[in-house]
Chain A
Amino acid sequence: MATRLRLLDDAAWVSVNDERAVGTSEVWPVAETFCSCELAWLVVEAFVDVGVNGRRVEARPHGHCLNCGESGTAPWLPVGKVTDDGFRLVEGVRR
């Protein structure tokens, strides 16, 4: 089944199969890839893109790290997984 992905509300939400799945203002723990912190605390200010990689739904969030202040657009990070029972959000550290 195709997964419908979209950015809504001026890129404040990632929508997966017509449900708002993840929004801005969340704080994501991100391993290594965002700034020089080992674990970045990324405040998501907007989403730049959303895509699917196998069963993994990914997004590129724009924001800044609460530890070091570095701001920018992160590489593709997981948002969740499409399973046979529907869509499940990722929890914990993103990498």
Chain B
Amino acid sequence: MPTDVEQWKDEVYGNEIREHLFRFAEEGWDAIPEEEEDAWFERFKWWGLYHQRKGQESYFMMRIGTPNGVLEPGQLRTVAEVADEYARGPVDNPEFGAAYCDWTTRQSIQLHWIKLEDVPDIFEKLESNGLTTQQACGDSWRNIVGCPVAGKDTHEHVDAWPVAEELHETFKGNDDYSNLPRKWKVSVTGCDQGCGQGDINDLAFEPAEKDGELGFNVRIGGGLARKEPRFARDVDIWVPEEKVTDIAGAATELFHDHGDREDRYNARIKFLVDEWGADKVRRVLQEDYVDWELESAGDDLRDQYTYNAGGHEHGDHVGVHEQPDGNYYVGLNVLVGRQGVDDVYELADLADEYGSGEVRLTQRQNVIVTDIPEEDLDDFLAADLLDDYSPDPHPFMRGSIACTGTEYCSLSIVETKNRQVRYARWLKENVDVPDGVTDFHIHLSGCTASCAQPQIADVSLRGMKTRKDGEPVEALDVGLGGGLGENPQFAEWVEMRVPADEVPGYIQNLLATYEDEREGEETFREFIQRQDEDALQALADPEETDYEDPYMHNTKMTWYPYADEDDMGSSPAPTNGDGEPISADD
């Protein structure tokens, strides 16, 4: 039997959703028939609108997809203005205020508390400035990720930016590819650092040389979700740059035809690659989907990859870096990827004043200001904003990533962003950084969907529950030793169900053990890798410290975890276009 979602998609999907969306916006939230809500919410995702969780009815998360994370001059200001005007909820967030922007691990932007009634105005504003929410969610080509400094990077072998742009232009809004069995995540890497994170995407292009020509090797079937992480598999295909779009189209069609539409939990292409093996994927592509002779893989640059590779080199774009044109780009650390709207305005001003106005988003939830002339660099670096968004952050600040969590996400089991902010601050104050460690990756995801990419962190944290003193409390499963690089590695899950307030103590103990027992210059990842299962268990114990966690109770059962009156019954939602509560019609 086809799933509910497939049935809903058969009725209405893709571009045509827009007219319905606008009709509902015109008529108001109440116009969506109650029994059709879930179907419409599923469809709205295709236009970047994700209904927020229980207790927040009528409010949406809005995702803006920025290919390769590139915000052209002026676009960041547009985003700030939209957030400022439309992304204000009934209650402030205690860390981030009333309006803020989230920079995501897939180089996109998320705003919250969006009202349906405002969508047409928001779309008009975004689209007249070259931005779009189209296909930011849903079963489609998602935002294309890649090296955030493509075209501005001395490590680059192929300029990945025009490639990503062409893919974006070809596959966004394209009706032939608008209804896939599941999401379709694509990455383009052009450099020898591996910062496109191709390994964890459904389709990855990585630079490779064949007979003296630079092009791309193709990998298929990566993804992290549902306790089934996979690295993209090498399907032994090389394409020249001009064939990237063709092979991408072919791979998408293969997924369209052969992905599992009967079972959404088996639908991602990673499962098809499991079932078929890389050889068959290649053979079917050759036989049924391309009209040229596929070339075998070329020589890649994977042995040079440094991005999140566990070495002593920085695996990110934070800091001051020279561009090939003699200007500089400066990567700024944004703790857990969230920035209050006043700071976003200020960032846009600084980018205009000192750079070209362009700003880029990284897959580590950070921002990059590009094109700063050398003579302006010192003035830029002296700006007040950089006190909070540092180009030279403390290692625990630098490495912290968190997903959305129970604040808005209906999948989540625990509170994430505000907790991770508290973790990072506590670790900075209380834990000695082991010698030579410059960034220490701690990624917190609220559930197994793995939006914060926990499995490729030094310390992976994943939402769970446990019982403590007889009460159910928020807890985290803890994994260790994940990362990318030439030989990527998923974290090993080591400590399960650690009460959330004992996690900082665990990390403190863990790092003390590492400092004591490491051999020479051994990196954290190497240290973890040489432990056997029992030794991993014995590395450290969870422990209560003076760290305090205000979110131990079941935040999923609140309507908003930071409201003074946080029980479901106190929710003002659903509200109308003016934010006034609509009385429940029962």
Could you list which residues of chain A lie within 8 angstroms of chain B, going by C-beta atoms?
4, 6, 8-13, 15, 18, 20, 23-27, 41, 43, 45, 66, 69
Contacts and interface: CB of A to CB of B under 8 A. Distances in A.
Contact of A4 (B35, B472, B496, B497): B35
Given A20-B54, A23-B54, A9 B497 contact: no
Contact of A10 (B4, B449, B466, B472): B449
B38 A25 contact: no
Contacts of A69: 496
A24 B556 CA distance: 9
Given A11-B265, A25-B465, A18 B449 contact: no
A15 B497 CA distance: 27
> Would you call the interface of chain B mostly helix, strand, loop, or mixed?
mixed
B38 A6 contact: yes
B556 A25 contact: yes
Given A6-B4, A8-B38, A18-B37, A27 B465 contact: yes
A9 B411 contact: yes
Contacts of A12: 410-411, 447
B262 to A, nearest CB: 14
Contacts of A26: 465, 554
B556 A43 contact: no
A79 to B, nearest CB: 15
Contacts of A25: 412-414, 463, 465, 554, 556
Contacts of B264: 10
Nearest to B410: A9
A24 B447 CA distance: 10
A66 B466 contact: yes
Contacts of B224: none
Interface of B: 4, 34-35, 37-38, 54, 226, 264-265, 410-414, 447-449, 463-467, 472, 496-497, 554, 556
Contacts of B37: 18
A55 to B, nearest CB: 20
A59 B447 CA distance: 20
B34 A23 contact: no
B467 A27 contact: yes
A37 B35 CA distance: 40
Contacts of B34: 18
Contacts of A10: 226, 264-265, 411, 449
A24 B554 CA distance: 11
Nearest to A20: B54
A24 B35 contact: no
Contacts of B497: 66
Contacts of B472: 27
Given A9-B410, A13-B54, A18-B37, 14 more contacts: A6-B4, A6-B38, A8-B410, A9-B411, A10-B226, A10-B411, A15-B38, A18-B38, A25-B414, A26-B465, A27-B465, A27-B472, A43-B464, A43-B466
Contacts of B38: 6, 8, 15, 18
Given A8-B38, A18-B37, A25-B463, A13 B413 contact: no
Nearest to A66: B467
12 contacts: A6-B4, A8-B410, A10-B226, A12-B447, A13-B410, A20-B54, A24-B411, A24-B447, A25-B463, A26-B554, A66-B466, A69-B496
